[in-house]
Amino acid sequence: MKNQLTRFTYKALATLVLTAFLGVFSAKSQDGAKVFKQNCAVCHDPFTDRMLTGPGLKGIFDRAPKGDWLHKWIINNEKLIKSGDAYAKQVLAKYGNAQMTVFEGTLNDKDVDAVIAYLKAGPPTPTLTTTTTTGGDPKEPEAGIDPLYLILGVIIILAIMLGALRSVRTSMQNASNRSEGKPENPETTFWQDVKHWMGNNRRLVGVFAIILLFGGMKSCWDACFRIGVYYDWRTQKGYKPEQPIKFSHKLHAGDNEIACQYCHSSVEKSRHAGIPSVNICMNCHKAIQSGPQYKETEIAKIYAAAGFDPKTGTYDESKQNPLRWIKVHNLPDHVYFNHSQHVVVGKQECSNCHGDIKSMTVAEQKSPLTMKWCIECHRKTEVAMAGNAYYDRLHAALKEKYAGQYDVKFTVDKIGGLECSKCHY
């Protein structure tokens, strides 16, 4: 019994140690995947021998010297080459004396170990995934009943019921007249009955006419507010158009933590945030040729736009076809909005206007962007003056003016944020 218990204890302990080791190795591999994507994927394919800017890393552990050589090479290949390492010189000569980026100071030892663990683990096992409609790609509008058809249907049903009731009433009235020996009522048309009813109920008809008149005037008034505006009632809050490429902000800005400014490069320098060109896409996707959900399908559209042949790694300008992205957030022509003023000077986050874009698979307009919405924001948003050289003089003047009034909040409306000429010029 004791031996069995001992064997059982050893077995359980060994299983526990193995599980812990695999868990640590798996965590390292996952961390390594992230580090590799952020620093290495632009130049190297991790699990094939396909040549990108640098060689594919398939079989790298068979080619490279044993020990910590690979670790030293990743951290500082320049230092390894200068030390006279024979294999390092051989690699440099083989690839045209093009040196790899020096990551010393950018990556630490743990990062490099995680990358090596990721490469040793090999390509992840493909899993069968199912797509859901929640927060997914642009979908066709759900089938529903058009309100106009619904109103017409109700009118038709009421007309049929009214005609049937009218016929029943006429038949009953004539039957009553016959039983009393009176002549039957002469047949009248539907419109004659309507005219007779309107003549006997003039006040009620007048009330209906006034309601219809003012309702029509209100509709015309509302329609005038949309004249000359890029969007109408269908394309404001909740507008989510289908783009030429199924680009996921969640995957790029959320999961891979790519900064908004990398793609929207003019957001800190211009009034416009800028729509990224296909060249920006190609910075990464020249190497990353397959995505987690659509595989090569959507990335192939980027190559078609850039005139890029992934097999030869060459461009053909005659085959280039610029992407036509559909703008989601639109403002009228008479409205001035400056991104750099809000992002750089105002220290505002993109999510304040665009919503949690990092969680959106499909970009969607989350805020109404109306004048009322902007004014309310200016009334409640405090100006980021502390440590902001742009406001140094103004901050000093306001502190002197409101000295002793500790509850004063310097919101945007207090520095001219409600002046008409600020947004309408």
Q: What element of type H or E holds 326?
A: none
CB atoms within 10 A of CB 170: 15
Task: List Cα–Cα distances, 19 to 23, 92, 421, in angstroms.
Answer: 6, 40, 67
Q: What element of type H or E holds 309?
A: strand 308-309
For 116-132, give the DSSP string.
HHHHHH-SPPP------
Instruction: Please choose, from the candidates 63, 44, 46, 64, the residue with its C-alpha nearest in 3D space to the C-alpha of residue 54.
Output: 44
pLDDT per residue as tens, the chain (425 positions): 444 434 444 444 444 444 444 444 444 445 778 888 777 876 787 888 777 667 888 888 888 888 888 888 888 888 888 888 888 888 888 877 777 888 887 788 888 888 888 888 888 765 444 444 343 443 444 445 666 678 888 888 988 887 788 788 788 888 888 888 888 777 777 777 778 878 888 888 889 899 989 988 888 887 665 554 444 444 477 888 889 999 999 999 998 889 898 999 899 999 999 888 898 999 889 888 888 888 889 999 999 999 999 888 889 988 888 888 988 888 888 889 999 989 988 889 999 999 999 999 999 998 888 888 899 999 999 888 877 888 888 888 887 887 777 667 788 888 888 899 888 87
This prediction has a pTM of: 0.50
Task: Give pLDDT, residue 152.
Answer: 80
Partnered with residue 104 across adjacent β-strands are 107
For 34-97, give the DSSP string.
HHHHHHTTTT--SSS---SSS---TTHHHHS-STTHHHHHHH-HHHHHHTT-HHHHHHHHHTTT
Task: Give pLDDT, residue 144.
Answer: 54
